[in-house]
Amino acid sequence: MTVTPFFALAGTGLLCGLICLFVYRSLERNRRLDAQNRKLAFLLMRLEQQNVDLDQFATMAAHDLQAPLRFMVNQAHLLDMDIRELERPELAAMTNHIIEQGDRMHALMLDLLAFCRAGQDSLDIADIDIQKLVSDEIERLQAKADYQGTEVQVGNLPPSVLADRQKLAIIVANLLDNAAKFSSAYPSPVVHISAREHGSDRAWQFLVRDNGCGIEPAHRESVFRPFSRLDASKSGTGVGLSIVRKLVERHQGEVTIASADGGGTVVAFTLPKSPMELTP
């Protein structure tokens, strides 16, 4: 045996050993990654199931609590009728408090149900006549006694959009209602709705503007949290914008909020134009 073949043989052996070690380590790393991925997938599945369970619990709780609450409020109304005949205003005031709080709890339950259902029902995507939908929602808004003095202006709108009709109506109704609510206390309240192309023309961006008090930048994120209310003097439970965000995101769009020129607020939401981006 000469020296050169010995080193060549040893070198080959070493190389083979290194390759084996590399392969072993790679396999070991892959095995660990696979195990971690399986664990993550399991945790994700469990988290998703817990979210579904939580939503279903909230839905059932809100639904099943309505009947006993209705009995209580019904009885309070009957009591109120009897008390009025006794001419005891202090007792009438107490039954009124019961009725008011019962009605408030009922409104909260209905909004909790609406919030949960916004994430549960499947999307039924279709070509929607958005101009008619907006016009219907404006008519509904202006039928409310509080908003009869509110002028609603409609700017450019596309002839149609791809969306779930019922959910798009909820989005538009909530944004119009919100805009009207926050401008109605000011002189000459005006709500304006329009749309423009957005994101290299891949989406429509709808803008709902009011000339009300505006929202401080520090509070703009919190208004999307369910049951958050910036102004306790305004009616409502503070769930409208969180429902809007949930529904817009289910349509693969996004909602933003900003100050409007000249005061007030503008809420914008996008809807993709392409059906490829709107899989139910």
Partner 1 sequence: MSDSMNLGLPVDLSDPSRAIVMVDDEELDFVSASRFYKRSSLENPFIRFEHGMAFLEYLESVKRGENALPALVLMDINMPRMNGFEVVATMREDNHFAEVPVVAMLTSSTDTRDRERARESGVSGYLVKPFNPREYATFFESLAA
222 closest CA partner among 242, 236, 208, 207: 242
- For 201, the 3-state DSSP assignment is coil
Residues binding partner 1: number (CB under 8 A): 18
Residue 129 CA to residue 110 CA, distance in Å, equals 28
Q: Enter the tokens of residue 182.
A: 């926050």
Cβ closest to partner 1, residue 64 vs residue 221: 64
Cβ closest to partner 1, residue 103 vs residue 216: 103
Q: What does the DSSP 8-state code read for residue 230?
A: S
Residue 250 CA to residue 176 CA, distance in Å, equals 20
Q: Which of 49, 74, 131, 235 binds partner 1 (CB under 8 A)?
A: 74
Query: Where does this chain touch partner 1 (CB under 8 A) — which range of 71-79, 208-216, 243-251, 256-264?
Result: 71-79
Cβ closest to partner 1, residue 46 vs residue 77: 77
Binding mask 193-232 toward partner 1 (x if CB under 8 A, else -) reads ----------------------------------------
Which residues within the stretch 77-136 sit at the binding site for partner 1 (CB under 8 A)?
77-78, 102-103, 106, 110, 113-114, 117
Least distance to partner 1, CB of residue 205, Å: 30
Least distance to partner 1, CB of residue 114, Å: 7
Binding mask 29-68 toward partner 1 (x if CB under 8 A, else -) reads ----------------------------------x--xx-
* DSSP secondary structure letters along 62-109: HHHTHHHHHHHHHHHHHHHHHHHHHT-HHHHHHHHHHHHHHHHHHHHH
272 closest CA partner among 173, 164, 191, 193: 164
* Alpha-carbon 106 to chain mean position: 20
- For 236, the 3-state DSSP assignment is coil
Cβ closest to partner 1, residue 198 vs residue 250: 250
Query: Where does this chain touch partner 1 (CB under 8 A) — which range of 69-77, 87-95, 182-190, 259-267?
Result: 69-77
Q: What does the DSSP 8-state code read for residue 199?
A: T
Query: Using CB under 8 A as the criterion, which residues of the chain lie in contact with partner 1 when the complex forms?
Result: 63, 66-67, 69-71, 73-75, 77-78, 102-103, 106, 110, 113-114, 117
